[in-house]
A and B are shown apart, each in its own frame.
Chain A
Amino acid sequence: MNTLTVSDVTLAFGGLYALSDVNLTIQAGLITSIIGPNGAGKTSMLNCISGFYHPTRGAIRFGDKVLTHASPHQVSNLGIARAFQNIELFRGMTVLDNLMLARHRKLDYRFWHALIYMGRASRQEALNRAFVEEIIDFMELEPYRKQVVGSLSYGVQKRVEVARALTLDPELLLLDEPMAGMNIEEKEDMVRFVLDIQKERRTTVVLVEHDLGVVMDISDQIYVLDFGQLIGSGRPEEVARNPKVIEAYIGED
């Protein structure tokens, strides 16, 4: 299991500093949350890790590999998967096809195998289909397997989004507000899924979330960002007592 280290990362858009000198360490096997008020730079941080942005300064390392300038597909091939905040599914395809797409790299056949289909391509498809079914089972998506994603409800789409990231079979899973816009019941389900992902699938989870109740309950480690700066970190109870964090969230007296 690899540790993700973000050291002195600065992300500047012209004169605007979305992140300035942020240091994070994401321990393997734990649930680490990144919280902060709106515009604090949480999603920018995830974008830097997953390769959609490249930091202006600083370095990101996963184990002994440097991700600072890696593209999203390279990051994903290293075992870091990401679920998006605004649902970014393949809307015209079925749930099954969405998940099969996440197996793109694992489907081990060549172009000419695909043209003939019989034999290797067929075997590989069936093999990976079995894995996809395992994830469908895990995320309780059985009723929606053959439905087109665009026609599903918001809560289910969010779940498909997480399932798709999980189908990449990652070591590290980045979840960008998986509970945004959900009702209490859906939230409880999602929290249970996140915990199961950590415990049963032995995946490191990085969670960006606005619901502080959820964050305090399930996180092993919390990092707090405000205006692109790291203002606090530690275990949930430490963060809850940190005056800077309280100030960022509630304001001064």
Chain B
Amino acid sequence: MSANRWFATGNFFSAYRDEQRIFTTHLDRAIFITFLAALFIWPLCFEVSSKYMLVLDNILIAMVAIIGLNLVTGFAGLISIGHAAFVGVGAYTLALLARTIGDSHVIITHAWPLMLLACGAMGAVFGGFVGLPALRLKHLYLAIATLSFQMIFQWTINFLPLFNQGQTIPVGRVFWFTGEVSRRDHYFFWYYVTLTIVVIFGLSVRNLLRTRYGRSLVAVRDNDRAADAMGMHPGLTKVYAFGLAGFFAGVAGGLHAYLYRGVGIESFMLHQSITYLAMAIVGGLGTLTGAFFGPAAIRLLDLQVENLVGWSAQFLPATMNLATALKPLTFGLVIVLFLMFEPRGIANWWRICRVYIKLWPFRY
């Protein structure tokens, strides 16, 4: 290694294990750790309204879901149009439990980390099961199979009294070491929980992607005939990809249920699946950082549109429903613009910025 590991610009590896590092310089790592620390500390320094905290919670939950979607659609190349349904599977796992043993049962309120894992496990089981057609189907045909799962999910929830026919099923408030999490602290509490989960999942997936379990995903995307010749079962690898995506979606569903203290079908409809796909595309398919940028960009865009509509209400007649028109319009426009001008997503801008700064003052 070079003498100075803070500002090293080139490669000075002398062992293969040196090259496995995620952060090539100490500076990279220090910046990353500082950034994480800032994310944890800032809500303590400022007065943040519950409204914005809810938006942030939503972004973080979407990140958990998109990490999963990115694994199956970005890395393994299998288009999933039913991701919201997998999120729903997680949420309804919790809802069903709440309905059978009571929404404030000690298991739900005290053992919530275990519950989140259970939601993830259920999501993984459903993901793997829905992924089974991948053993035979490819490309668009497989995408339709995931779409059909979305439909089946919606119908099942809507018509079964067990799930309250899609009406809200309440979930109780959780307990922390300091006692029940109060209404005032609710969104803060879930901000910290979700942020911790995002960090843990992000690092785990980063690790996964540099091992054979990550490479096999990219292998079946790029060429599944060759993947077969390399000694992996391409079909089972795809099922595994769906299972993995289902796990992340399931955990996101569990978080969603706890955050809104209830589960209703409207959060897991087809348009939500499409939104997830859009987040993955805008963030950058096949990149881990994309899973963080995408949800943030789309949700903040939504927020801005809402603000704009609120502002325009001052001088526009009340009968004009600008919000219903503008939301889908901006959403569609953003996707089209990204597909046309930056199909690699925001993650690519991030990559360019990093290289630029790294090379500065030389030209990129």
Contact = CB atoms under 8 A, between A and B. Distances in A.
B222 A76 contact: no
Contact of B207 (A52, A89, A103, A115): A115
Interface string A78-99: 0001101000111111000100
B230 A101 contact: yes
B204 A115 contact: yes
Nearest to A116: B207
Given A73-B228, A77-B231, A126-B15, A104 B215 contact: yes
A103 B223 CA distance: 16
Nearest to B211: A114
B351 to A, nearest CB: 14
B226 interface: yes
B231 A105 contact: yes
Interface in A111-144: 111, 113-117, 121-123, 125-126, 129-130, 133
Contacts of A91: 222-223
Contacts of B218: 90, 92-93, 97
A84 B226 contact: yes
A148 B216 CA distance: 17
Given A71-B233, A101-B216, A125 B211 contact: yes
Contact of B230 (A76, A114, A125): A76
Contacts of A107: 211-212
A76 B229 contact: yes
Where chain B touches its partner, the secondary structure class is helix
B232 A104 contact: yes
Contacts, number: 109
A105 B227 CA distance: 12
A117 B225 contact: no
What is the interface residue range for chain B against chain A? 20 to 34
Contacts of B221: 92
A88 B233 contact: no
A72 interface: yes
Given A73-B232, A89-B223, A89-B226, A114 B215 contact: no
A176 B304 CA distance: 58
A109 interface: yes
A99 to B, nearest CB: 10
Contacts of A92: 218, 221-222, 286
Contacts of B17: 122-123, 126
B20 A104 contact: no
Contacts of B207: 114-117, 121
Contacts of A59: none
A76 B231 contact: yes
B159 interface: no
B219 interface: yes
Nearest to A161: B226
Given A126-B15, A126-B20, A73 B223 contact: no
Contacts of B231: 73, 76-77, 102, 104-105, 168
B229 A104 contact: no
B212 A114 contact: yes
A204 interface: no
A117 B211 contact: yes
B16 interface: yes
Nearest to A165: B229
A29 B213 CA distance: 34
A231 to B, nearest CB: 29
Interface string B197-214: 000000010011011111
A82 B229 contact: yes
Interface in B222-274: 222-223, 225-233
B212 A122 contact: no
Interface of B: 15-17, 19-20, 204, 207-208, 210-216, 218-219, 221-223, 225-233, 286
Interface of A: 50, 52, 71-73, 76-77, 81-82, 84, 88-93, 97, 100-105, 107, 109, 111, 113-117, 121-123, 125-126, 129-130, 133, 164-165, 168
17 contacts: A73-B228, A73-B230, A77-B231, A84-B229, A88-B225, A89-B222, A90-B222, A93-B218, A93-B222, A101-B212, A101-B215, A101-B227, A105-B231, A109-B211, A115-B204, A123-B17, A125-B210
Given A92-B286, A114-B211, A168-B230, 18 more contacts: A50-B229, A76-B228, A76-B229, A82-B229, A88-B225, A89-B226, A90-B223, A92-B218, A93-B218, A101-B215, A101-B227, A102-B231, A104-B219, A109-B212, A114-B207, A115-B204, A116-B207, A122-B20
